[in-house]
Structure 1
Amino acid sequence: MSSQARSPSIPSENTAGNSPNSLFSPIQVCPTRSPQAGNLTGSARKVKDSAADWHNHVQSWNALSSKGMSIINKIANLKLETIFNSTSSADDEEDSVTRNTFSMPEELETWCKALDTVLEGMNKIVKKLEIVTAALKGVRDLEWHRCVGGAEPLFQTWPIEEFYNASEELLAMFNRELELKTTIVQNVAHVQNRETLMFYTSAWLHQPYIDKNADILIQSMVVETGFR
């Protein structure tokens, strides 16, 4: 789409706009957009790229989450087999002391470092999502300046505000989920009971802060911009 400048309405000879005593200035009208297709430019190009970025970054996040899940399962199994089971015959008080003094297997450190690498990758993805959201905010502000309210659909039915709101909502989800995963990574190797270990494992798997609306929002952006 070629970016269209705001076009002022041209008053006719009989309108008050030609009178020196006119109380009103000619208004600027948003030109109606035709459906976007082919090689896009301007705001439409930036928004379509942002929709693709969201889809691709979330795919990368999901791949890292799956990798992290595999590592956490290895950590959990290692702790269950070599730490918790080794003290199963002791009473509760002795068991607690033994767990605190039991030497950690070398493999545990290896898996913890691997999990740190996964978390680092997730941090980078969230930073990229922040950049995408900031870019959409910039387009939103530009469209609002170009057309009061920015209400004209860029593609099919969504005005720019819908894309920005969706991106902002998604970013909030992934930020909260990143905080949870950071807590899990920092603590999973130091868990002293099976229940907490199982809780961390389940929390990583189910990603409670990324709700089902996330997939709807991403797919809506993809469909709206014509990728599907």
Structure 2
Amino acid sequence: MSSSPNKTLGDAEARFSSVILPESPASVSRQKNLTGLPRVARDIVADLYNNIQRWNENHIIGANLAKAIAQMKSNNIDDCSDDLDKLATDLYNVVQKLSGIAGAFEFLSNQMKSLVKLHKKQSPLFISLQNDQLVELVEAIAEAYKAEFKVKKFVLENIAHSRNKNEIMFYAVCWTHQQNINSEINLKLEMLLTETGHRKIT
């Protein structure tokens, strides 16, 4: 026979070489501080994540307050007691905190846009996502929370003044459900965390 197994294996090795993926600067620099634009981008994503945690904490507090208001109004639709006023004031304070967080999301989105404009190279800042994709992910997350803030504000303005039980329950569910912050938005966040080295690739 003209060809041997060894020769066939050698030919295969010549045709197929291993592919080396670019490493994230975040993973390369675990033993030292990340610098330059990758460091700024990574910090933006960290701030985004931290603000989402703050949002979640206030969302839960607000959900409990909305539920308490709904129960009180369901028991007495004409309730205008000091207890109801206290709950409404507490919910207002939560919405004020969420307003600040929504503003932070907008600021971080603009920061990422500016950073990408500064990065003149075509190469990605991190592993695989193009730089404009980083902007799109941060912007999509910021817009989702901005839309959700409008819902929270709408609930605040109406729940304590509801005139029937169906309205009351509708407002309480609107607060709790967070339709704008869905699995797609959560996936975008995970993509950002992984891309920038905050999440390990398993």
* Short-chain TM bin: 0.7 to 0.9
1:51 correspondence with 2:45: yes
Higher relative contact order, chain-length normalized (CA < 8 Å, sep 6+): 2
Residues of 1 paired with 2:128 and 2:64: CA distance? 41
Partners of 1:139 and 1:160 within 8 A in 2: no
- One-letter identity of the residue aligned with 2:127: Q
Q: If the length of structure 2 is used for normalisation, what is the TM-score? A: 0.82
Which of structures 1 and 2 has the bigger CA Rg? 1
Q: In the alignment, does 2:187 pair up with 1:211?
A: no
Aligned residue type for 1:225: T
- Structure 1 runs of 4+ aligned residues shifted over 6 Å read none
The answer as to whether partners of 2:24 and 2:197 remain within 8 angstroms in 1 is no
Mapped partners of 1:207, 1:54: distance in 2 = 18
Q: Which blocks of at least 5 consecutive residues in structure 2 are unaligned?
A: 1-21
Contact 1:75 1:189 in 2 (8 A): yes
Is the Cα contact below 8 Å between 1:173 and 1:210 reproduced in 2? Answer: yes
**Which structure 2 residues correspond to residues 87-166 of structure 1 after superposition, within 5 A?**
99=78, 104-143=80-119, 146-147=120-121, 150=122, 152-166=123-137
Offset at residue 159 of structure 1 (A): 2.1
Q: Which amino acid aligns with 1:209?
A: N
Give the structure 2 partner of residue 190 of structure 1.
161
Q: 1:127 to 1:52 in 2, by over 3 A?
A: same
SS of match in other structure, 1:155: coil
2:148 is aligned with 1:177: yes
Amino acid at match of 2:135: Y
Judge conservation of contact 2:23–2:127 (CA < 8 Å) in 1: no
2:54 counterpart (60, 73, 89): 60
Structure 1: gaps (5+ residues): 1-32, 85-98
Q: Which has the higher helix share?
A: 2
- How far apart, CA to CA, are the structure 1 residues paired with 2:180 and 2:61? 19
In structure 2, what is the equivalent of residue 42 of structure 1? Answer: 36
In structure 2, distance between residues paired with 1:135 and 1:69: 31
Q: CA RMSD in A?
A: 1.4
Q: When the two structures are aligned, how many residues end up with a matched partner?
A: 173
Q: Percent identity?
A: 25
Normalising by structure 1, we get a TM-score of 0.73
